[in-house]
Amino acid sequence: MLCVFFNMGGCFSVAQVLKYVAYNIFFKGVIATEQHLGHSFKKLHFLLEQAMNRRLQQLDLTNAQGHIIGFLAHSPEPPCARDLETAFGLTHATVSGLLSRMESKGFIALTPDPWDRRVKRIHLLDKGNACCREIRERVKETEQLLAEGFTDEELDCFRGFLNRAIQNLSETTPSDREE
């Protein structure tokens, strides 16, 4: 379904409106959260995802699709959709949509599992394999851009801080998350 928003100057797709809103939230201070760590992490994630999407666009891939290709390339045997859901913390609907688009672009093939016809195994095709090296290069470029201006010592500290923050939140109980 294509939703379009109209104004005096023209029309905008939902994606354009969301991009505009996200930009204004993150960069124009609509929400005064500069001192909140969560805001900084969200902003960094948003910028990283945008940078990777731009770099992978030439390969006709999105950041999420690039992650899936990397996962498939390193899997000892063809995984199923549930494996991707677990590995990336995505919903079944999201994984189904990603796989459908990747299959239509010729990056992957979905085949029935020989022991359970309800399950489809995901196979990386030649086109998907050919992109692996390019994806690694794009990730490396983005990481270099992210680390620009940091010393090796600062990067080690930064990684340590990030890992500690991840560990802190990983150790929370389900009741902590509901508060």
Q: What is the pLDDT along the chain (179 residues), one digit of tens a residue?
A: 344 444 445 566 666 666 666 666 656 655 555 678 888 889 999 999 999 999 999 999 999 999 999 999 999 999 999 999 999 999 999 999 999 999 999 999 999 989 998 899 999 999 999 999 899 999 999 999 999 999 999 999 999 999 999 899 888 756 555 55
Q: Is residue 158 part of a domain?
A: no
Q: Domain total for the chain?
A: 1
Report the CATH number that the domain containing residue 78 is assigned in CATH: 1.10.10.10
Residue 88's Cβ-side half-sphere holds a number of Cα atoms within 13 Å equal to 22
Q: Is residue 173 part of a domain?
A: no
Q: Is residue 109 part of a domain?
A: yes
Q: Is residue 90 part of a domain?
A: yes
Q: Is residue 86 part of a domain?
A: yes
Q: Is residue 24 part of a domain?
A: no
Cβ partners under 8 Å of residue 85, min gap 6 = 91, 92, 95
Q: Is residue 34 part of a domain?
A: no
DSSP secondary structure letters along 2-20: --EEEETTEEEEHHHHHHH
Range of the domain at 101: 61-140
Q: Is residue 172 part of a domain?
A: no
